[in-house]
Structure 1
Amino acid sequence: MTKRKKYSKEFKLDAISLVVDQGYTKAEAARSMDINANMLGRWIKEEEQDNDQAFRGNGKMTPEQEEIRKLKAQIKQLEMEKKILKEATVFFAKETK
């Protein structure tokens, strides 16, 4: 199975610029950037709909996404601590026998 390619925000904006600013067709721009024309069309649509939040990536999460990420990390930490405490309880129970 092939790995999915990841494109930087700058790459996406450059590809969009070819179509929007320089007058290339989607097919021409996609061919020159070695990407799929449908994907380029999706990037253009995404940029038009939500200019500030388009192509956020992991570096620019919304406040809700950031909170979810922190809570998931906290849950993972608490589950690990719980496991350690259970193992310690079993260990000390064996020691007292």
Structure 2
Amino acid sequence: MRKQQRYTPEFRSEAVKLVLEQGLQQSVAAKRLSVPEGTLATWVAAVKSSTQPLPPGSRSAADVMAENAKLRKELAEARMERDILKKATAYFARESLHVTRS
């Protein structure tokens, strides 16, 4: 018979943060922490459905997911702008070579 493992609230909180805030898959996080995947899934589900007020400095899963979506959109726009600037720089570099050769 296996002895039931006890986890501290701090450990549980950090494990849930790996999944919700850092975007790690539950299976990967569970393996890294040597926690049964079902146990971690229970902790994550409890936090997602929790109606208890969050401690100061922490955010709800919905807030984190919304911020993540916003940041992904901003990153895509920044990459697009960077690519446009690269092409413009190459274009003007070619044009300046033609002007100086004349």
TM-score normalised to the size of structure 1?
0.50
Q: What is the TM-score when the length of structure 2 is the normalising length?
A: 0.48
Structure with the larger RCO, 1 or 2 (CA within 8 Å, 6+ apart): 2
